[in-house]
Structure 1
């Protein structure tokens, strides 16, 4: 009888522990309670996420394509070589026009003008209107927007040639509103700046805006021009002269600080979010910042790095990407640190912003977890049966 009682209590206790009995301490409802009380459940078959991914082992051939972080470029805008762009007149520019004549008694200089510093007259300053024209007496309206100063001067001279005495025209740009560049974001003095005819490059404009207000290693520079956009890390821009291209009228430069981070989970010394703190962070260095692998838990052969990679990059590697619909393919890179050569590989494999590192537990750890659970259950069951025997003896003593 007591044998049956002992077995019954043991099985009851095991069932209670394995089913998550409500009597055990909890910080909140368990997964069964949450699922049972849900009004609506949205789930896929077998509760699968449904995201297809590629698994790529890190080796020497992979390093040829992922050995260093790809740097974006401003090369598509041009302006890296040659001279600065020309700055034509534009709508909104304020100009002053001076007309010189060879001698007095002409169209603009009367014969009795007396002592003068020169035979010229300066017209009142005027703004190039929305139609792109300016007004010159006896010459009428002259198209100025989109043309160089020399072209407009020559046309006015030709229009006045039959009226004035050997006219010569000088146009001075008082304010160049059409040749401005806006510098915004994480700079000390964001504003719009007029371009110099000598030419201004991207770093020149950032300097005019007071320089960066954030660390250069975490700062990105975005150039917008006529609907086209490109973004470059500031350190790459500063260290690569070819990227420091000339800006053009109407450009917008946006300087943005963005913390470059990665996540580390699993059997690492530290788990959480980590800052790059340097531009050329590698997988080996990232593992070191996360405390390395836990000697008593980690499986060195299962170090995973999660990242989305372009289809073109995978195609160059020889991966069949036909099953993936998107241009960005989820990829898990796996490093086998049981192989000594892999330590050289992870020191060359570049980290990207928002990468995720996961180190799996070894199979022996999972086995120990199960054995500990069995030992805990059997010990508890033995204790309960001992209590039953003690109670029986006490009753007999009465």
Structure 2
């Protein structure tokens, strides 16, 4: 019977502790096996760094009536002389209709020259034209109005209440205000990420940081694209746990003890609490800190070991950070394997007795 069991092997959820340790570098394997302690926890506590660059943070608020390239303006000029530069004799004013803002953002006004319009408000353009004309005619009066053009707009897509294209108006000149205008977010705020794409530059922040870090509530620009999506990080749980599955992150950070809890904890009939392993491909610089070495080349295969029966084992598991792509594996207790062996022997003996009874009859 024992020979039969040794030949076919017993069913189990994965390798045992001895087999995992056999794959260590010290035993000619290709993985470093490291027991978790406070130093290891500090070295491996690396989380996604999300935030906006200076070019996004330093952009000033955009006026709700800012002119853009392609807009069409109407200009009216009043002159306090009988023979003015632009106003015909006997007429109260001169009207310049349909002055188009060119692709570079400029307009041309006779006697005032080429003027930067895009990025300015009608009031700012009025002041520029007035200053240029008053050197040639006394006390000119200028009116500027937008005839066509939608002004600055942004698109908001993804996990929001109402996707669409929205104008940048006075109440919606910042990122958080625009998200509120789009109906708020429709995914859990703990794992919501907000990406802003501007002139080919793409930058992302956590939704919650818009309120915790005021500087992240950046001013918007015409043409911005705003994408709201859920964090796609996940880890895999295998072995003697409540369930074996791919588990998405439910918050920005997850500890090893939380990861075990998310899959129903340890299987009380099978799990070995001294054999909780975290498999990870670790970046070279982090692996060197963990191993106190400076001669590694490239990413390294690391196996972190948590012993929940140690005096500080639960605390270490509470502090050790799980990262995207990790595999959390819990080995089976030797007792569970022994139970399986006994069950297999008993079953085999029972089958043999049955066969002997049948042959005797």
- TM-score range (shorter-chain normalised) is 0.7 to 0.9
Counterpart in the other structure of 1:98: 76
Matched, 1:209 2:187: no
Greater Rg, structure 1 or structure 2?
Answer: 1
Q: CA deviation at 1:268?
A: 1.5
Cross-structure match for 2:305: 334
Q: Deviations over 1:331-382 (max 9, x none)?
A: 4332111212021122223344554321111233234433433443344334
In the other structure, the counterpart of 1:64 is 42
Written as runs of structure 1 = structure 2, the 5 A alignment for 1:251-330 is 251-258=224-231, 261-274=234-247, 276-318=249-291, 320=293, 324-325=297-298, 330=301
1:107 to 66, 85, 99: 85
Query: 1:159, 1:348 → 2: CA distance?
Result: 67
Corresponding residue number in structure 1 for 2:330: 359
Find the aligned partners of 2:113 and 2:59 in 1 and give their Cα distance: 35
Q: Secondary structure at the match of 2:274?
A: strand
Deviation of the 1:279 alpha carbon: 4.4
TM-score by length of structure 1 reads: 0.68
Distance 1:64 1:98, change over 3 A: farther
**SS of the residue aligned with 2:321?**
coil
Give the equivalent residue in structure 2 for 1:127.
100
C-alpha RMSD of the superposition: 4.0
User: How do 1:126-165 and structure 2 match up within 5 A?
Assistant: 126-130=99-103, 132-136=105-109, 138-139=110-111, 142-144=114-116, 148=120, 156-157=129-130, 160=133, 164-165=137-138
Q: Is the 8 A contact 1:106 1:165 kept in 2?
A: no
| d(CA) in 2 for partners of 1:347, 1:218 | 20
Alpha-carbon shift at residue 94 of structure 1 (Å): 3.1
Q: Which runs of 5+ in 2 are unaligned?
A: 10-28
1:346 aligns with 2:317: yes
**How many Å apart are 1:246 and its aligned residue?**
2.4
Q: Structure 1 pair 74/256, CA: closer, same or farther in 2 (3 Å)?
A: same
Give the conservation status (yes or no) of the 8 Å contact 2:112–2:129.
Answer: no
Contact 1:311 1:321 in 2 (8 A): no
Can you list the C-alpha shifts for 1:8-33, whole angstroms capped at 9, x where unaligned? xx89x959x9669xxxxxxxxxxxxx
Contact 2:51–2:216 under 8 Å retained in 1: yes
Alignment of 1:4-83 (within 5 A): 14=4, 53-67=31-45, 70-80=47-57, 83=60
Of 345-354 and 57-66, the range deviating more from structure 2: 345-354
Q: Are the aligned partners of 1:222 and 1:230 in contact in 2 as well (CA < 8 Å)?
A: yes
Q: Distance in 1 between matches of 2:107 and 2:275?
A: 73
- Where 1:75 maps in the other structure, the secondary structure is coil
**TM-score for both structures, normalised by structure 2:** 0.74
For these two proteins, the number of residue pairs brought into alignment is: 340
5+ residue gaps in structure 1?
A: 1-9, 21-50, 114-118, 392-398
More deviation, 86-95/286-295: 86-95
Is this contact kept in 2: 1:97–1:172, CA < 8 A? yes
Equivalent-residue separation in structure 2 for 1:341 and 1:317 (angstroms):
19
